[in-house]
Amino acid sequence: QLKFGLMTEINSCNRRIAFLLRKKYHREMDYVYAVMNEMDRKLDRTITDLDDVRMIMELLKRIRDQEVDMELKIEPIEEAYNVITRYDLPVDKEDLEQVDSLRYTWQKLLARAMML
């Protein structure tokens, strides 16, 4: 009976930790996607005059400046979701798909920026 009580308490703690990990890193992932979507939207802009050229040059500088920071944000997000799935803790399938495509989306944005 003590063993059952301890296992129940451990499972409860694991679920709570998983909930907090998901909450924290889901927020981080939303931030990273928001930054990437903003950059992607600005890259879509057509260049018609010197102001557009200046804006694109500033965006390219910002992308270069944030490259390391973004990599450092992506790594812990991936690791947190790996821990959650490794221990078979509950997680939304949609979140897992977003995590799986996070690095690819960032690499695609970098490649697109280098094409300009």
Task: State pLDDT tens for residues 92-115.
Answer: 999 999 999 999 999 999 999 999
CATH of the domain at 105: 1.20.58
Per residue in 24-69, pLDDT (tens digit) is 999 999 999 999 999 999 999 999 999 999 999 999 999 999 999 9
User: In 3D, which of 38, 27, 21 has the Cα closest to residue 80?
Assistant: 21
pTM (predicted TM-score): 0.88
pLDDT of residue 108: 98
To the nearest 5 percent, what fractions of the chain are helix, strand and coil?
A: 90, 0, 10
Boundaries of domain holding 47: 1-115
Evaluate the CA torsion angle 58, 64, 69, 74 in order and state its sign. positive
Number of folded domains that form the chain: 1
How is residue 56 written in tokens? Answer: 């694109």
